[in-house]
């Protein structure tokens, strides 16, 4: 019989295989996760809503029914900007305290259709923005877990759930994954349907995944896109890796720089063709351009809340809305055109490279809970709509996790996962590398 610890440390795909084989039950798995929540939630505060009975009821229903699909019986945590018909969706905002949507977000409904247990809702920064909730970093409670998918990162890293949905408008999936020492995956823009997601900036909002095991990304992708599960596999040819420090390099702290060099050296040693790659000069405008999208589109998508509940919106978000309202529409259209042009140019980069290797974030998770970290290193890629993945790549100066970021061209999500698989299994890019 598997121990609770063994159960809660299972990856999602591995757990699904064991349930399908009858080796473990969904109830035992969910119970093990709930025990971890009970033990650690007072410190980690990853959940905005969790009802053990509701989670267990779903698990028992799975155990009593024939296999429903790829995710039969496995628990998934859901960032609280994604609607759930049976749990509140509060979006990190007092405006939505206790709010109950009529239906599930598409990704939640598709996961349930594939058999998943929706375990609970994870803490989000206010409207997936910059104002954090109470979640702490599982590796050090004095530090931020990152955001805005704060609870998703912390819950997965702390073995409360094997996988969580997040959303990324700047760096809201990859940064908490990097800060918490797990894997974050932002698919190509548009690949996971966004119905039932509260928009931050709809031109760039992307639903992503946080998990401890790479294959789990492929499994959930299969469930959400109606595809067969194809596990990540080794690329047929040696990888051509662009070592891309980006124009943000001056922001990279020693921990981030060391992690990038470590991963690049490991890739080179394992046979990859690693060459320095410098982004086109005009890409340095991407950070500022993303801010325009973020402010203008937030101001528009929050028009109702701004009109009716302005006093309940945080100063940080109010500032973003005000900036958005003050931005001339012509500037926004120019930003749209510029982003389009850069996306096309980004496609061309991948004639020479299979993937780019970049810092995941500025460095380790900062001390303090009032700032979820700088989204710059993640945000430029979000604007480009390319798929990105953050892999743990050892520890930093304070023994906190540090990640490296992999980038592939739009729609080449499978190639991205395969490249990551190679980096983990062949080059040894892992949380414990030194």
Q: Which residues are catalytic?
A: 79, 148, 172
- Distance in Å, CB of 333 to a second copy, minimum: 5
Report if residue 312 touches a second copy, rule: CB under 8 A: no
Show the CA angle centred on residue 368, arms to residues 362 and 369, nearest 5°: 100
Half-sphere exposure of 292 (CA within 13 A, CB side): 19
CA distance 335 to 291: 10
Q: Which stretch binds a second copy (CB under 8 A): 165-173, 253-261, 296-304, 356-364?
A: 296-304
Is residue 96 within 8 Å of residue 71, measured between CB atoms? Answer: no
The only residue of 206, 255, 301, 382 in contact with a second copy, by rule CB under 8 A: 301
Binding mask 339-368 for a second copy (x = CB under 8 A): -x---x------------------------
Binders in 21-50 for a second copy, by CB under 8 A: none
183-186: strand order across its sheet: 47-49, 117-122, 75-79, 163-168, 206-211, 183-186, 388-395, 401-407, 355-359, 240-243, 273-276
Q: Which is nearer to a second copy, 79 or 175 (CB)?
A: 79
Binding mask 207-226 for a second copy (x = CB under 8 A): -----------------xxx
The only residue of 54, 336, 431, 433 in contact with a second copy, by rule CB under 8 A: 336
Binders in 100-129 for a second copy, by CB under 8 A: 102-104, 106, 108-110, 112-113
* Pair type for strands 355-359 and 183-186: unpaired
The site for a second copy, by CB under 8 A, has a size of 50
Q: Which is nearer to a second copy, 144 or 172 (CB)?
A: 172
CA distance 274 to 57: 50
Q: Which is nearer to a second copy, 255 or 388 (CB)?
A: 388
- Distance in Å, CB of 182 to a second copy, minimum: 25
Two structure tokens written together for 136: 């702490």
CA distance 286 to 274: 25
CA distance 351 to 409: 10
- Distance in Å, CB of 214 to a second copy, minimum: 19
Is residue 405 within 8 Å of residue 424, measured between CB atoms? Answer: no
Binding mask 403-432 for a second copy (x = CB under 8 A): -------xx---------------------
The only residue of 199, 277, 377, 381 in contact with a second copy, by rule CB under 8 A: 199
Give the ranges where 46-103 is alpha helix by DSSP (H).
52-64
Q: Which is nearer to a second copy, 175 or 410 (CB)?
A: 410
Give the ranges where 162-237 is alpha helix by DSSP (H).
174-180, 214-225
Report if residue 319 touches a second copy, rule: CB under 8 A: no
Q: Which is nearer to a second copy, 194 or 262 (CB)?
A: 194
- Distance in Å, CB of 140 to a second copy, minimum: 36
Binders in 70-99 for a second copy, by CB under 8 A: 85, 96, 99
CA distance 379 to 388: 11
Angle between helices 286-301 and 376-384 (to 10 degrees): 80
CA distance 203 to 169: 9
Where on the chain is the footprint of a second copy (CB under 8 A)?
85, 96, 99, 102-104, 106, 108-110, 112-113, 190-191, 193-196, 198-199, 202-203, 224-227, 297, 299-308, 325, 327-330, 332-333, 336-337, 340, 344, 410-411
């Amino acid at each position: 019989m598997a121990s609770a610890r063994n159960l809660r440390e299972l990856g999602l795909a591995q757990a699904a295989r064991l349930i399908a084989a009858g080796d473990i039950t969904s109830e035992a798995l969910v119970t093990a996760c709930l025990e971890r929540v009970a033990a650690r939630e007072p410190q980690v505060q990853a959940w905005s809503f969790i009802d053990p009975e509701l989670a267990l009821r779903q698990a028992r229903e799975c155990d009593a029914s024939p296999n429903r699909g790829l995710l039969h019986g496995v628990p998934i945590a859901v960032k609280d900007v994604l609607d759930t018909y049976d749990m509140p969706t509060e979006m990190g905002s007092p405006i939505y305290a206790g709010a109950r949507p009529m239906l599930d977000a598409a990704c939640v409904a598709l996961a349930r259709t594939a058999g998943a247990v929706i375990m609970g809702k994870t803490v989000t920064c206010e409207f997936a923005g910059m104002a954090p909730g109470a979640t702490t970093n599982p590796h050090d409670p004095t530090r931020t877990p990152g955001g805005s998918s704060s609870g998703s990162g912390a819950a997965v890293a702390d073995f409360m759930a094997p996988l969580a949905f997040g959303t990324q408008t700047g760096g809201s999936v990859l940064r908490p994954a990097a800060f918490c020492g797990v894997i974050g995956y932002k698919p190509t823009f548009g690949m996971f349907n966004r119905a039932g997601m509260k928009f931050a900036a709809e031109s760039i909002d992307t639903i992503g995944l946080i998990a401890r095991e790479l294959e789990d990304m492929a499994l959930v992708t299969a469930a959400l896109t109606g595809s067969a599960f194809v596990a990540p596999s080794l690329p047929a040819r040696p990888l051509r890796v662009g070592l891309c420090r980006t124009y943000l390099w001056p922001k990279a702290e020693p921990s981030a720089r060391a992690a990038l060099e470590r991963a690049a050296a490991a890739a080179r040693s394992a046979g990859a063709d690693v060459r320095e790659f410098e982004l086109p000069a005009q890409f340095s405008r991407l950070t500022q351009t993303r801010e325009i999208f973020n402010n203008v589109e937030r101001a528009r998508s929050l028009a109702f809340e701004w009109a009716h509940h302005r006093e309940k919106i945080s100063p940080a978000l109010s500032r973003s809305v005000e900036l958005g309202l003050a931005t001339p529409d012509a500037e926004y259209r120019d930003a749209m055109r510029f982003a389009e042009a850069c996306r096309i140019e980004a496609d061309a980069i991948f004639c020479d490279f299979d993937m780019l290797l970049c810092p995941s974030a500025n460095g380790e998770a900062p001390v303090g809970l009032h700032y979820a970290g700088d989204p710059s290193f993640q945000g430029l890629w979000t604007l480009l709509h390319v798929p990105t993945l953050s892999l743990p790549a050892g520890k930093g100066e304070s023994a906190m996790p540090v990640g490296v970021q992999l980038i592939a061209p739009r729609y080449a999500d499978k190639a991205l996962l395969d490249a990551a698989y190679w980096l983990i299994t062949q080059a040894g890019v892992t949380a414990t590398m030194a």
